[in-house]
Amino acid sequence: MVVVDVQNDFCEGGALAVAGGAAVAEGITRYLREHRAAYDVVAATQDWHIDPGPHFSDHPDFVTSWPVHCVAGTPGAELHPGLDTTGIDELFHKGEYADGYSGFEAHACGTGDAGAASSAASSAAGRPRDLARWLTDHGIEAIDVVGIATDHCVRATALDGARAGFAVTVLTDLTAGVAPDATERALAELADAGVTITDSGTPS
Ligand SMILES: [Zn+2]
């Protein structure tokens, strides 16, 4: 499973709040409590901006430019407290100096259970492990994608996952979108790209 950007700034009260964000955090926690054993590994991505250029704007259009959010090392960039992180194997950061919509642009932080080993392997290889490499190293061929926001980072992550050859499923009830029309378009685009669109089957 890939949990995308369930961070304080994307939940209610955050700098770029998405309606339903906190409920997604709690929904993923409930779902993983029941289903964690069905997943070999769980990765979580974080938008982690240092200087992302025009991704930040004082006059954001909420399409390609945004208010300042998820600044590296700030509380807004932390995972939402409603998300239970105990079952998460590795954290991936993205967007330090770019938009960073896709989790497949992210690199492992070496903070998970397998962190020490993966960090050592990364430095030995001379570069941090990206998400595709990490998944492949764990023998993963199929991923479920959940998180925030359906019409932006979930969309980009699922599309890149499909392009990278993974069988991708988006569990829509464990996602939240910025705009309803853009979310509908994103789900249609994902379905066209061969991504399975379904729900988790977990009562909310
Ligand atoms: Zn961002």
203 within a domain of the structure (yes/no): no
Alpha carbon of 25 to ligand 1 centroid (Å): 18
117 within a domain of the structure (yes/no): yes
Alpha carbon of 179 to ligand 1 centroid (Å): 16
Residues designated catalytic:
5, 94, 153
Alpha carbon of 95 to ligand 1 centroid (Å): 6
Mean pLDDT of the chain: 92
81 within a domain of the structure (yes/no): yes
136 within a domain of the structure (yes/no): yes
170 within a domain of the structure (yes/no): yes
204 within a domain of the structure (yes/no): no
Give the number of other Cβ atoms within 10 Å of residue 155's Cβ. 27
Alpha carbon of 35 to ligand 1 centroid (Å): 29
Q: Quick: pLDDT tens for 119-142.
A: 445 444 556 789 999 999 999 999
126 within a domain of the structure (yes/no): yes
Q: Is the pLDDT of residue 115 over 50?
A: no
- Give CA 128 to chain center in angstroms: 18
SS3 168: strand
Extract the tokens encoding 122.
Answer: 């990364």
Domain that holds residue 64: 2-198
CA–CA gap between residue 150 and residue 44 (Å, rounded): 15
Alpha carbon of 37 to ligand 1 centroid (Å): 31
Number of domains in the chain: 1
CATH number at 78 reads 3.40.50.850
| DSSP at 127 | S
Q: Is the pLDDT of residue 116 over 80?
A: no
